[in-house]
Structure 1
Amino acid sequence: MPTATVDPASGLAVAPAGAPAEVVALIAAGNVIASTPYKYGGGHGDFEDTAYDCSGSVSYALHGAGLLDETLDSTALSKWGLAGAGAWITIYANKTHTYLIVAGLRFDTSGAKKAGSRWQAAPRSSKGFKVRHPAVAGL
């Protein structure tokens, strides 16, 4: 599988050539909010907000890909979709935090520099997280 990259100047993700339309759309949606501020509860109740928490960010990106119709908190995301890693999109969630990996790139509010991007190439431990993926063939 080709890997997405982070543009060092903008902090935005670049989808790999040949990625499924949902992956391209998820990355584009993530780019829209990649540098917005963090706010606990941000992005819930409505996808449009001025700041996002972890689950609000993941929900926004999944919604942008047409994979989610309502915002979910991290506990709900730990039960969403199907168990296990996806081919292109994998959600890691527990009762206190969630992040996703899309085309090998992490979208996460944790570890980002202040006013930095949510897109990160650096891996993080998935210990204590439930691993889920969209219930869409090939994703």
Structure 2
Amino acid sequence: MPALLLANCSSAPKDYAYRFVPGKTAVLEGRYARAPKDAPEAVKRAIAAGNRLVGKPYIYGGGHRRVEDVGYDCSGTASYVLYHAGLLRSPISSTEFRDYGSAGAGKWITLYPRRGHVFTVIAGLRLDTGYNGQGEGPQWSTRGRPAKGAVLRHPPGL
């Protein structure tokens, strides 16, 4: 019974589910995202950075030793977009993202770090290296994704 109560706890992360909100949600045009016109500049920079990663291969450890790399893993991808948005000083691991920024979902950017993986939702679109059904490597998606074990975090103010 206690496990059932914990599973229904309101603080447990919700699975990511795409939901379009006019003026707040980025638009997916082919493989690339277009930021909402009135999004904060940091969000626009994060989306532009995510677009630069589309088509790069998945490389375990990619983006950890240096921000600009030939390929990226999940935390390298999250680090890259936050770095280029001015929200992170240097790359960090998926485990370190569990303590990044502020707790809970953000208004514009939410990270879903869990043991061994992290994905990022920026203006409603998911930037992820897996669970896309279209191969590996950083890419945008509107496809839902389970968030079991994730601790939602966001950059302060966003």
Provide TM-score, normalisation by structure 2.
Answer: 0.81
Larger radius of gyration: 2
Asked if residue 20 in structure 1 is aligned to residue 74 in structure 2, the reply is no
Give yes or no for the alignment of 1:60 onto 2:72. Answer: no
Alignment partner, residue 71 of structure 1: 91
The one-letter amino acid paired with 2:58 is Y
Q: Distance in 1 between matches of 2:33 and 2:131?
A: 16
Out of 128, 140, 143, the residue aligned to residue 119 of structure 1 is 140
CA gap of 1:57–1:104, structure 2 versus 1, over 3 A, is same
Pair 1:117–1:80, CA change in 2 (3 A)? closer
Contact 1:12 1:117 in 2 (8 A): no
CA RMSD of aligned residues (A): 1.3
The corresponding residue for 1:105 is: 125
Question: For 1:86 and 1:21, how far apart are their aligned partners in 2?
Answer: 15
Runs of 5+ consecutive residues of structure 2 not aligned to the other structure: 1-22
Taking a change above 3 Å as real, the CA distance of residues 95 and 115 of structure 1, as seen in their structure-2 partners, is: closer
Q: Which runs of 5+ in 1 are unaligned?
A: none
Q: TM-score, normalised by structure 1?
A: 0.92
The residue type equivalent to 2:86 in the other structure is: G
Does the residue aligned with 1:85 lie in a helix, a strand or coil? coil
8 A contact 2:63–2:72 mirrored in 1: yes
